[in-house]
Structure 1
Amino acid sequence: MEPVNIIGVGMTKFGVLEESIVELAQTAAFEAMENSSTTESTFDHLVVGVQNPDEFVGQGHLSTLLADHLGIVPAGATRVESGPSSGSSAFESAFAMVAAGMADLVLVVGVEKMSQVDRNTASTILAKMLSYENEIRYGATPAALAALMTRRYMHDYGLTRDELSLIPVKAHRNGANNPLAHFQKEVSVEKVSNSRMVANPLRLYDCSATSDGAASLVIASDKVVRDHGLSDYAIQVIGVGHGTDYLAVQHRASLTSMNATRVAAQKAFTMAGITSKEVDVCEIHDAFSILELINMEDLGFVEKGQAINVV
């Protein structure tokens, strides 16, 4: 397997934005290209992670459209979709191309434009990632399923409402220090715990908002790193992992653990030759506040039921 490096990054602001999905992707991509000094380079491939732009903005075939707008034709262009992890899957695809020696320079873009439709329509589109046979036709939504997981976690491990509120409190504190964040105001435990109920016991601040924005990476082989004189700046990717579970939550082994996360983490740690104890910084998926706690435990950072103690 060939070494794989990150040599450039770019990101837009997130929120309800005026820019189109193409303009958002362009902004992030051009920033990553400038950051890596590859604006005039020949890219081998573009990988775009995006969830259902056909319904959110009425635009299909987004990968080829972006290759055109970014001026990197005739590079290959692929759109990747895996629900909330579409951006990560796009990165994984680019990593595999370079690791396999199929490409030397790959541009990765993750982009979403969700504000073009109303909230109810957005919720309907997002719910299509669930199992129709076992969930959607019975009225299940992502928030309702996350609420089931939350209630079970509270039952099993004694998590309280105010303890759960510490997750969005921390997230909003971080957002207040990030000029690109959707929300940039701190909130209190009291405000979170008393906010509008969405799906008992989840309240407004436990649920992520739909947002517009984009992020981009430039992935390169060692050859490109040497040719561009970026050896002092390139970040080597030492491990990736990917796993799945049964789509319907009711078919999974547990409501308080996600086996896909455990499998993916083990693959990544094995490839990297490290353990979870050696990780200093992590960014964890938290579309709903309970998921941050469950993910920290499934990744091996803390024992089951103990994640709240490190928040």
Structure 2
Amino acid sequence: MLVGLRGVSPASDTMSEGTLERNRAEKALITKTPTHSQLFPKNSGVKNYSDKNGNDVTKAVHKGRKTFAFWTLVCLLFILAIGNLILTFTILAVLRLGQGMESMEFLPEHNAIKFFGDTDFEHLYKKDGLIESFRDTPMTISSENGSVMFNLQVKPSRYENKLTVNTSGVFVRGVNALELIDPDSGEVVFSTAAADMNIPDGVNNLHAKQISVKRITSPVDEDLTLRSETSAHLRGAEGTHMESKELFWSADQDIYLKSINGSIVLSGKEGVFIDVRYLPIAATVNRTDKYSQGTGQFKVCVCMPQ
């Protein structure tokens, strides 16, 4: 009855246990697979492990970090671009840039720049030397506590002063002629090339600090008046000659007639008169003098030539 039964020997039990331990060791070796980092230890010292499905866990995490850094950089660049765009539109709105600016407009068809209102410049360079205004808008050039100078570039880095306007006057140097033209009629109001200067109609007074001319005349039926608030000096390099129907001199203080190397001639058809009523009267020096009861005295001295 016990023919079909096999007994189990102790040797077979020992073999079964050894086989089971060997299978466990092989399974552990199969689960721990070598990665690229293990094959090439010089590139990375970190050992990578795969899960039960064979996925590389460390490589997936590293790739996720790269993706996050990339999109972070893209977002930063996008924010900077939006900020730069807002700043650009703000500058355009403040300066009112377009075809021009708030006080300046470009006219490319006329090859010109139009300024509105007051414009402050330290230096203004014009290639053709033309600075003009519109017909209905006068142009004023002024300087605060300084001079307005117009220079001409004759050579590279070399300039010559041609026109200077300051509180002392208007100075023109090294030019053939200076002309002032009426913009409405186009007539020449003043020109240094003209032999005579005629004051146009409507101009009654001419104010100047110093005038160097050869001759000053007025029409026969009109008076010529030379007037100064402080003092007036009439000086001629070779003498001064005055001729009129009636010559009238008046001064608040003194009138000096002086000739350096010539003579002074006062000649009139009906004589020369001095109104002594307007001459200053000198008071008496010594009141104990016998003439102290007088009202004062004056003296006119005339030196006759030898």
Fold equivalence (TM over 0.5) = no
Taking structure 1 as the reference length, the TM-score comes to 0.18
Structure with more contact order per residue of length (Cα contacts < 8 Å, sep ≥ 6): 1
Of Structure 1 and Structure 2, which has the larger fraction of its residues in helix? 1
